[in-house]
Amino acid sequence: MFNSSNAANIVDGEILYKESCIECHEANPSEEMLIFSIKKLKKKIYGCVGQLDLPWNEQDVDDTVEYLDVKFFHFDEWQ
């Protein structure tokens, strides 16, 4: 969920995802919805970002997490 304690930007997240992730993943990287928390989603994203050696900072990852959350996952808590 978006809240004032994080400045994630879903517009940036969407751009980043489309640039770097969609070539391997569908629009939703976890179609079976096996991920049940922001924390886990974030970990998986760091996994792919690390594997691909992308020059993403923490904000980029947060933006992408937020984008995917708003679009698909709808987790209740940002953790």
Contacts with 7 (C-beta within 8 Å, 6 or more apart), sequence order: 59
Nearer to ligand HEC among residue 1 and residue 52 (C-beta): 52
Q: Is 8 among the residues that bind ligand HEC (CB under 6 A)?
A: no
* Residue 27, φ and ψ in degrees, nearest 5: -55, -40
> Is residue 23 part of the contact set for ligand HEC (CB under 6 A)?
yes
Which of 34, 53, 74, 79 touches ligand HEC (CB under 6 A)? 34
Comparing C-alpha atoms, which of 57, 69, 67, 53 is closest to residue 18?
A: 67
CA Rg value for the chain = 11
Interface positions with ligand HEC (CB under 6 A) = 17, 20-21, 23-25, 29-30, 34-35, 41, 44-45, 47-49, 52, 54, 64
